[in-house]
Structure 1
Amino acid sequence: MSKHLRGIKPKISTDQHPLTRMPKTPAWFSTYARDEWKRAMPMLIARRVICAADLAQVETYCCMAGLVRQIEQERQLGGGIIDVKLFGVQNRAAQTARQIAATLGLDPVSRARIASGASDDDDHDNPLAV
Structure 2
Amino acid sequence: MSMHLRGVKPPIKPDQEPLTKAPKAPAYFSTYAVAEWKRVMPVLVQRRVICAADLAQVETYCCMAGLVRQIETERQLGGGVIDVKLFGVQNRAAQTARQLAATLGLDPVSRARLGSAAPDGDASPNPLDV
State whether TM-score is above 0.5. yes
Supply the distance in 1 between the matched residues of 2:87 and 2:24 (Cα, whole angstroms).
31
Give 1:55's aligned residue. 55
Q: Structure 2 length as normaliser, TM-score?
A: 0.89
How many correspondences in the alignment? Answer: 119
> Per-residue displacement from partner, 1:12-51 (whole Å, max 9, x unpaired)?
0100000000111100000000000000000000000010
Supply the distance in 1 between the matched residues of 2:24 and 2:53 (Cα, whole angstroms).
15
Supply the distance in 2 between the matched residues of 1:5 and 1:56 (Cα, whole angstroms).
29
Give 1:33's aligned residue. 33
Supply the distance in 2 between the matched residues of 1:99 and 1:12 (Cα, whole angstroms).
15
Question: Where does 1:1-130 land on structure 2 (aligned, <5 Å)?
Answer: 1-118=1-118
Residue aligned with 1:23, SS: coil
> Per-residue displacement from partner, 1:50-84 (whole Å, max 9, x unpaired)?
10000000000000000000000000000000000
| Pairwise CA RMSD | 1.1
Supply the distance in 1 between the matched residues of 2:69 and 2:96 (Cα, whole angstroms).
14
Q: Which runs of 5+ in 1 are unaligned?
A: 120-130
Deviation at 1:109, TM superposition (A): 0.7
Supply the distance in 2 between the matched residues of 1:4 and 1:38 (Cα, whole angstroms).
35
Deviation at 1:6, TM superposition (A): 1.4
Q: Which runs of 5+ in 2 are unaligned?
A: 120-130
Q: Structure 1 length as normaliser, TM-score?
A: 0.89
Residue aligned with 2:15, SS: coil
Supply the distance in 1 between the matched residues of 2:93 and 2:111 (Cα, whole angstroms).
22
Q: Which residue type is aligned with residue 12 of structure 1?
A: I
